[in-house]
Amino acid sequence: MNIVVGVTGGIAAYKSVQLVRLLIKAGHEVTVVPTEDALRFVGLPTWEAISRNPVTTSVHDDVARVRHVALGQGADLIVVAPATANTIAKMTAGIADNLLGTTLLATEAPVLIAPAMHAEMWRHPSTQANIETLQHRGVRILGPAVGELAGGDSGPGRMVEPEDIADAALALLAPKDLAGLRIAISAGGTREPIDPVRYLGNRSSGRQGVALAAEAAARGAEVTLIAANIAGDVLAGARHPSIRIRQAGTASELALAMADAAETADAMVMAAAVADYRPVEVAHRKLTKESGGIPVIELVENEDIVAGLVRARREGQVIVGFAAETPETAGDEEELLARARRKRQRKGVDLLVVNEVGWERGFEAGENEVMVLGRDGLVTATASGSKRAVAAVVLDALRPLWTAGRTSV
């Protein structure tokens, strides 16, 4: 497919070299359209060499082939990364004073932008209003991420990593094979309060669940994402017109939110790490050393949310569970599989996505490795790679169960 990558004048432009590489590696034809300012950061020969296509910034080059509109007309997708506040403002107003501007006006292809700027510029009401307008028009906004910015500041404004932009771009080109699917996905980790300042929690970042939500939405599904304590920069990955986000802090809140979503959902995915236990009593004031002695926190078991969803399921509703296992608990591969089979059966889910976690693996990492167990206890799929790639495989496994459910209802 033909992808136009617009590059505007921000320091993150150097990262877009990697973005172009990834898109080409995935088998696409890429034309880079930098702005004049972008060329101050990365020169024209680099873009030509990496994209293997001629690069120009001016609407007056290649006039014979009406390049200023032809690029937009011929594109299957346009990605603008980094997108500066200035370019975002110009896009909103429809200003076409350079090749990128004319290309954007002349296209009917999906447009994805990855903003990058200083936090103050991002937060400015005009930028926020522009983003809202663009989003309303169907432009996909990816990020910005929170982190270190040029000049040593930090905050929201960093361009999302090129690997994630490539994933989102490729997903936009993907077929809409989940159109019509209403899916509820829980993600993150619950926190069970001990007192107003402390909680029992876990290390789940929510990345895998957010990747599932983003992938499902890209493939045409209507998504409800139930987010349990997910950091803002991770949750930014779920910014999509077809994703509705609901927050749930504790296991009880998550149970309520999932039960609510279950009323209309065709499929439910419990990717959240739920605390198995919560303190019997929550102290209303902070426990202090003066409260006397070392506290003993008595726990009570939380309800098994996914098992409850299975008990209450409507006909044809597909339910997917996750199982995070440490190799130490699971023993060898055989034992891991046997444990997973018992867990799938105990919970009654249609699919169980099993991944190994540990001190170094699984939680905060960008990559994941899973196997998917089906109703018959057999491994129906395995996946390793980015969490987005894993999400795609999980949804591939879910899709036939959903369509089968549809035909039987």
Whether the CB-CB separation of 47 and 7 falls below 8 Å is answered with yes
Stretch that binds ligand CTP, among 79-87, 125-133, 225-233, 266-274 (CB under 6 A): 266-274
Interacting span for ligand CTP (CB under 6 A) from 27-35, 173-181, 260-268, 270-278: 270-278
Provide φ and ψ at 398, rounded to 5°: -75, -35
Site string for ligand CTP, 199-238 (x = CB under 6 A): ----------------------------------------
DSSP letters, 280-345, are SS--SS---GGG-SS----EEEPP-HHHHHHHTPPTT-EEEEEEEE-HHHH-SHHHHHHHHHHHHH
Task: Report the residue number, 23 or 187, with the smaller CB distance to ligand CTP.
Answer: 187
The total of other beta-carbon atoms located within 10 Å of residue 408's CB is: 8
Give the residue, chosen from 164, 266, 304, 350, that forms a contact with ligand CTP under the rule CB under 6 A. Answer: 304
Q: 9 in helix, strand or coil?
A: coil
Q: Which is nearer to ligand CTP, 47 or 322 (CB)?
A: 322
Residue closer to ligand CTP, measured from CB, 108 or 328: 328
CA 229/CA 32 separation, integer angstroms: 38
Phi and psi at 75, nearest 5°, equal: -80, 140
Which range binds ligand CTP by CB under 6 A, 116-124, 319-327, 370-378, 387-395? 319-327
Q: Does 393 bind ligand CTP (CB under 6 A)?
A: no
What is the C-alpha to C-alpha distance for residues 20 and 16, in angstroms, rounded to an integer?
6
Angle between helices 162-173 and 387-408 (to 10 degrees): 30
Listed residue (369, 349, 345, 344) closest to 308, CA to CA? 349
Nearest in space to 7 (alpha carbons), one of 98, 93, 118: 98
Minimum distance from CB of 296 to ligand CTP (Å)? Answer: 22
Distance, CA of 168 to CA of 166 (rounded, Å):
5
Which one of 98, 202, 355, 368 is the catalytic residue? 202
Give me the 322-341 binding string for ligand CTP, x by CB under 6 A, dash otherwise: xxx-----------------
At its nearest, how many Å lie between ligand CTP and the CB of residue 287? 25
Cis amide leading into 144 (omega within 30): yes
Q: Are 123 and 156 in contact (CB under 8 A)?
A: yes
Rule CB under 6 A: say whether 270 interacts with ligand CTP. yes
Residue 302 found at the interface with ligand CTP (CB under 6 A): yes
Task: Check binding of 306 to ligand CTP (CB under 6 A).
Answer: yes
Asked whether position 274 contacts ligand CTP by CB under 6 A, the answer is: yes
* Cα gap 383→392, rounded to integer Å: 9
Stretch that binds ligand CTP, among 35-43, 96-104, 123-131, 297-305 (CB under 6 A): 297-305
Site string for ligand CTP, 245-264 (x = CB under 6 A): ------x-------------
One symbol per residue from 339 to 358: x for binding ligand CTP (CB under 6 A), - otherwise; what is it?
A: --------x-----------
Q: Interface with ligand CTP includes 398 (CB under 6 A)?
A: no
Q: Which residues contact 319 (CB under 8 A, 6 or more apart)?
A: 267, 268, 270, 306, 309, 310, 313, 348, 349, 350
38 lies in the site for ligand CTP, by CB under 6 A: no
Select from 66-74, 269-277, 330-338, 367-375 the region that touches ligand CTP (CB under 6 A): 269-277
Q: Which stretch binds ligand CTP (CB under 6 A): 47-55, 163-171, 320-328, 357-365?
A: 320-328
- Specify whether 355 is catalytic: no
Q: At closest approach, how far in Å is the CB of 186 from ligand CTP?
A: 7
Span between the terminal Cα atoms of the chain, in Å: 38
Near ligand CTP by CB under 6 A: residue from 62, 76, 177, 276: 276
Residues that are catalytic:
202
Provide the binding-site residues for ligand CTP, judged by CB under 6 A: 251, 270, 272, 274, 276, 302, 304-306, 321-324, 347
